Each structure stands twice: as structure tokens, then as C-alpha cells.
A and B are shown apart, each in its own frame.
Chain A
Amino acid sequence: MLKLTPEAKVGMFVLLGVIILVYMSLRIGGIQFGKGEGYEIFVKLPSAAGLDKDASVRIAGVEVGRVKDILLEDNKAKVIIRVHPDVKVGTDFVAVLKTKGLLGERYLELIPGSPNASMIEHGGEITRVTTYTDMDRLVGQLSEIATDIKAVSSSVSSVLGGGEGEAVLRRIVTNIEEVTTNLNTVISSNDEKFGRMLTNFEEFSKLLKDKSPEIADGMKNIADNLNQVITENRENLKGGISNLKSASVKLEETMETLNKLAKNVEPKIDDAITSIGGAAKKVDDTASSIGNVAKKIDKGEGTIGKLINDPSTHDNLNKTLTGINTYITKADQFKTFLGFRSEYLFGAGDAKSYLSLRIQPKADKYYLIEVVDDPQGRRKTKTTETTTGGITTTTKEVITEDQIKFSAQIAKRFHDATLRGGIIESTGGFGVDYYLFNDRLKLTLEAFDFDKKRNPRVKTAATYNINKYFFVTGGYDDVISKVGGESLFIGAGFHFEDEDIKYLLTSAPIPTR
């Protein structure tokens, strides 16, 4: 085992202690603000009782700063706050003094206002302050109420209590006593008068009884007089009555005419009523038939009813809409690019040209169709036998011929890399594109023409997009060639999005999933 020197042991020991100390300090300290960090704002509170220096300032419960200092200004507590630089405090923020738990420490909560409000700068003030009823205030208010009650009760007691109050009370009681006594006296002293009143009443009724025959006589006289008056005016009365009679006859005639009139009118009214009745019935019928239709629709009878009531209608509609949606989205995503590029091959001393159509149904997937004019397209080994003077020499010669080739590839993009494969230059092959700098630079590696006699044709290239349309390219073609096809190349080209081809392709039916 390794023998440790005392120095090493002490070193390790001290290191352990320091690590633990730093760990604990960091855990406990949490967000510690340096002296110069953040900005200072202040708020004036009616009371900062319980708030200490370094107490936390929170927004939505998250600590965003510390109380830097508490001063007294205009008999209010001016609390200076240092706020974390990343935190913006709006002018409509409301400051509230809060307590953590029932017995916890005090802290300052800032309640956010509208997000559009302007921000408070360094040295600014939070003008809005709310005071919550905390325990202190509650106790204070209760004691105020108690004081009021005490004042009332003491004034009552000062009125009623003491010698004066007692005297007043006694006077009141004495007065009441006197009043009742007086009442009593009044009643008792008038006892006699009441008695006399009753006696008088009795006498009056007796008198009435005694004098009643006389009164009856008087009445008879009055009736006689009346009779006499009537007799004297008999003629006048008769005339009046006959007048009344003739009036009543005329009234009768009028009534008869009216009756006739009514009779004439009656059938017409009848008709009118009948026709109104018919109309009402028709309205009724209509209503009931509408009702029936509605009922039928409700029950699901008939075409409309089925349409409305059949859940499949809804589903179908939904599906249709979804389908239309996908179609539109597809059409929207769908892009076609036409491009042309030409590469000059230093090895062959000739240019190779590509005409390409890129059909991109989705952002991460495309089909690439290319027509390639390759000067090194076909390599043939030509054997020529020449017999000169009996000696036959066989010369082998590699001939490269110009050839038109086709590529058809399918490509799929994963993040920055695109894998593609299919037919490359009329042979099977695959390739990888790697995109850098927001797709401006493309690194390509592709391999095709897997031939046993010669190595596959491997092509490396870097393509840089100058702008949306033009690009330059360069690289090394046929890297591991056995037949001397290696060649450096540079080239340039352009490509553009073609809307016409796109609509041609998308207007053809596309199956939805």
C-alpha cells in the first residue's frame, strides 16, 4: 500500500473540509448577488416592520433580489432593493410585505402588472403599495375597536354613575311617581262627575220615550202636506209621464231598426269569422306539418333526417375536411426544383453536365431525377491486334466515350444529413449529403457503379450556395479508381423552384393515407 506522508494526509484532509464547506455554502447561499450586479430601485412602505436587510424580494415566489437598505424618509420606510439584472420590474408592479408561513421571515413580494407597462430604471420607485391585514394590523384594529367600546361604556358610566348621575336617576323615578299619583287623583276626583253624566243620559232617553206620540203626530202632518202638494200638481205630473211614454216608443223603434241592421250584417260577420277560422286551421296544419317534419328529421327519417342524425355523416364530413386539409398542406409543402450544373473534370479535360429535377413532397424527403452528360461515361477496353512482319502485337486501349446517363434517387433528410440512394448515373448507388452553415455548404460523398473489375466510383464534393439560385461546386471524382479516372473537378450551376411542374404534379390525384 502507498505510504502517505503527513503532508499528503493533511492536504487531503483539508481539501475534504474545503469541499464540504464550499458545497454547504453554495447550497445554503443560493443565488448570491455580487455587490455590483443588478440595479437598484426603491419603494416607500407605511411600515417595514419585520423586514430585514438582505431579506428576499420575490416575484411569484421566486427570489429576484434582496433588500439592500431600509431608511426612514417622510415618516415612511424607504426600502432600497437590488434587483437581478435579468429581471424587469414594471412601473405598475405592486409591492406587498409578506410573511413566509405564520411565523416565518418577512419578505417583499412584487405583484406584476400588465406586460406592456414601461420598466423601472435604476434608481426608480415602485409607487404602488398594498398593505395586507397581517397579525399586527389585526391586533391593532381590534384594540382600536376595544378602545371605542370602552369610551362608550365609560361615558355611559360617567352619566349614570357617580353622585350626580344617581341624583338624576332618582329625580326621574320621582317624577314618574308623581305623574301616576296625579293621574290617580284626577280619576278619583272626577268620579262624581262621571256619575252625573250617566244620570243625564238616562233622563234624556226617558224624555224621548214620553214625547214619542207627539213626534208621530208631527210626522203625520208632514205626510199630509206632501199629499196636498202632489194633488195640486197632478196635471203636470201626467204630462211628464206621457212625455216619457212617447220617448220610450221612439226608443223601441230605434231598437228595431238597429236589430234589422244587425240581422243584415250578421251573415257577413259569420263568413268572416268562418274564414278566419279556416285560416287559423291552415296555420295550425302548417305548424303541425312543420312539427312532423322536424320530428321526422329528429327521428332520423327521410334523407335530411338521416343526413343530420347519422353520425357517419359527421365523420365523413370530418374526414373529407381532413383530407382536403392534408391535400392542401401537401400541395403547400410540395416543391419542385429544376437545376442545371456543369463540372469541369481536369483529368478528362472535359465538362460533365447535369440537368436535374428535384421533387420534394415534404421538407425532409425528395426525389431526384437527373440527366447526366458524362464525357467519361463509358470505358471500354479495346484490343487491337496488329500483325506486322509476322509478329502480332496486341495493344489494349481504354476508350472513354461520351454517354448520356440517368439518375433517379430517393432522399431522406435526418437533421443535417441527407441519405439518398437509387440509380446514380445509370448504375446502382447511394450517397450522403451533409449540410453546414444553415445549408449553405453541402458536403457530398457518393458511391456508384459497383464493378468488380474496377473499384466503385466514389465521388466527393463540396457545394456552396452563393444565393438562392446559384452555387459553385468542387471536389474529387472517382477517388479510388483503378483505371485512372481520378480527377479533380470544379463546377457551377443554378437551380430554381418551378411552380408549374409543382401544380402539374399536385393536380394529379394523390391518395390520402
Chain B
Amino acid sequence: MSGFFEYIGEMAENAIRVTGEIFLMLYQSVVWMFVPPFKLRNLFKQMEFVGVKSMFVVLLTGSFTGMVLALQSYNALKRFGAESLVGPTVALSMARELGPVLTGLMVTGRAGSAMATELGTMRVTEQIDALYTMAVNPIKYLVVPRIIAGILMLPVLTVIADFIGVAGGYFISVHVLNINPGVYIGRTIDFVKVEDIFDGLIKSFFFGLILSLVACYQGFYTKGGAEGVGRAATKSVVMASVLILIADYFLTSMMLK
């Protein structure tokens, strides 16, 4: 019986500890972010990895999401004779919700897991300890560039996803569903505001922070050899994805106020 309570207690303690460690890491990263020297080369490498190399995945997901949105919303809106609203539906969904969230999830799967694995391997092969002995702060050297890359690259990827999604929706609407292209674009411009796009970008900024921070955290505190590295990768993806979706809800509710 006491084992059950112990289990719950451990879980609670664990959750609190993880939260604390993550925030501590964030705090340290922010502090180290402004301490020279700034190794820009390192940062650009991470930006290339997170941003440029994720572009293809984001293009694929974005375009197909836009296309399927057009199909689905056409199917629903046709019943009210409101086919002209397919454009706004696709554009608003992409800009406000699907663009940032899907980008966040895809980058988590692609780059987040890689970050966790990389840092985890460095941990279990004691390279991080080696950095300490060389008087190099591993937070500054390893975590800060990754977090900055995540924060900066996610909005850019989101913009691309938004655009390619709307383009995909346009393609399907005009060439498959025979919606008037002028109406499609006109309605979209009528309904979508610039704030919608920027709201999405603010979201993606937070998603970038979440995924890079979680991945770094999971990798940084990896225990238990090769197996531990695998576990860290899995954990980072699951945790970052869930946190992104939760954060999405709260960010949306704050923005719609």
C-alpha cells in the first residue's frame, strides 16, 4: 500500500524537479546568452540545422495540410453554398494554428530528437564533463546556440509553411474544386488580417523555445549509456510535442482575448 503512495510521491517530486531543472536551464541560458565571447559560427551551424534543413519537411507538410484543408472545408462549406469561404478558412487555419503547430511538431521530430541524441551521447561519453574540465561552460557552448536557433528559425519556417499551405489550398480550390481564383484571393484578403499572421509567428517563437529547451534538457541530463540516449530522444519528442500543444491552447486563449 505504501508502495503506491511512494510511487505517486515520486512522480510528483519528479515532475517538480524536472520543471525546476528546465527553468534553471532556461535561466542559465538567458544569462549566458549575453556573456561574451559569442561564437557565431556555432550558432549559424545550429540555425542551418534547425532551419534550412527542416525546410523540405515543412514544405511538404505545409502544402499537403493546405490542400487537405481546402478539400475538407469545401466539403463542409458547400452545404451552405459558401464555397467562397474556402480561401479564408484555409488561410486563417494555416496562419493562426496549423502553420505554427505543425512546424513546431515537425521540427521537434526532426531537429529536437537529433539535439537530444547529440547532447545525450556527449553526456554518456563524458564529453560534457570534458568541457567543464576545459573551463568551457557547456550551457553556453551547447545549449545557448540551439535555443537561439530554435527561437529564430521557427518563425521563418512558419512563414514558409503558411505561404505554401495557402498556395496548396489555392491550387486545389482553383484547379480541382473550380472555385473562382479572384473570389478565393479576394475573400482571403477580406477575412485574414495581418495580426493573424503575426499571432501565428508569436506562437511559433514560443514553440521554438519549448522544443529546443526540452531537447537540450533531455539530452543534457541523459543517464544510462546508449539505452539512455535513445530514451532521451523519445522523451524529448514526446514532452516537447505535448508541451507545444498545451502551450498552443494557452497562447491562443490569450491572443483571442
Whether the Cβ atoms of B156 and A27 lie closer than 8 Å is no
A-side contacts of B152, CB under 8 Å = 14
Whether the Cβ atoms of A16 and B160 lie closer than 8 Å is yes
Residue of B nearest to A14 (CB): B156
**Count of A interface residues, CB-CB < 8 Å:** 21
Name the contact of B160 in the complex, choosing from A20, A29, A104 (C-beta under 8 A).
Answer: A20
Whether the Cβ atoms of A28 and B156 lie closer than 8 Å is no
A23 to B41, CA, bound (A): 30
B-side contacts of A20, CB under 8 Å = 159-160, 162-163
Question: Cβ of A509 < 8 Å from any Cβ of B?
Answer: no
Question: Cβ of B47 < 8 Å from any Cβ of A?
Answer: yes
Question: Cβ of B194 < 8 Å from any Cβ of A?
Answer: yes
Shortest CB–CB separation between residue B161 and chain A, in angstroms? 10
Whether the Cβ atoms of A9 and B48 lie closer than 8 Å is yes
- The winner among B47, B55, B157 for most chain A CB atoms within 10 A is B47
Residue of A nearest to B54 (CB): A13
Interface of A is mostly: helix
B-side contacts of A9, CB under 8 Å = 48, 52
Question: Cβ of B192 < 8 Å from any Cβ of A?
Answer: yes
Question: Cβ of B189 < 8 Å from any Cβ of A?
Answer: yes
Whether the Cβ atoms of B190 and A100 lie closer than 8 Å is yes
Name the contact of A7 in the complex, choosing from B44, B157, B159, B188 (C-beta under 8 A).
Answer: B44
Question: Cβ of B197 < 8 Å from any Cβ of A?
Answer: yes
- The winner among A13, A16, A100 for most chain B CB atoms within 10 A is A13
A17 to B188, CA, bound (A): 20
Shortest CB–CB separation between residue B85 and chain A, in angstroms? 10
A261 to B196, CA, bound (A): 117
Against A, the Cβ 8 Å flags (1 = close, 0 = not) of B209-240 are: 00000000000000000000000000000000
Against B, the Cβ 8 Å flags (1 = close, 0 = not) of A1-38 are: 00001110110011011101101110111100000000
Shortest CB–CB separation between residue B205 and chain A, in angstroms? 13
Whether the Cβ atoms of A17 and B44 lie closer than 8 Å is no
Name the contact of A6 in the complex, choosing from B45, B189, B197 (C-beta under 8 A).
Answer: B45
Given contacts A25-B197, A29-B194, whether A17 and B48 have CB atoms under 8 Å apart is no
B-side contacts of A16, CB under 8 Å = 156, 160
Shortest CB–CB separation between residue A262 and chain B, in angstroms? 96
Whether the Cβ atoms of A24 and B48 lie closer than 8 Å is no
Whether the Cβ atoms of A10 and B163 lie closer than 8 Å is no
Name the contact of A13 in the complex, choosing from B52, B194, B197 (C-beta under 8 A).
Answer: B52
Shortest CB–CB separation between residue B131 and chain A, in angstroms? 21
Whether the Cβ atoms of A24 and B163 lie closer than 8 Å is yes
A9 to B192, CA, bound (A): 31
Q: List 10 A-B contacts (CB under 8 A).
A: A6-B41, A9-B52, A10-B47, A10-B51, A14-B152, A18-B156, A23-B163, A28-B189, A28-B196, A29-B194
A residues whose Cβ falls under 8 Å from a Cβ of B: 5-7, 9-10, 13-14, 16-18, 20-21, 23-25, 27-30, 100, 104
8 more A-B contacts (CB under 8 A) besides A14-B152, A25-B197, A28-B194? A7-B41, A13-B156, A16-B160, A24-B162, A28-B188, A28-B193, A28-B197, A100-B190
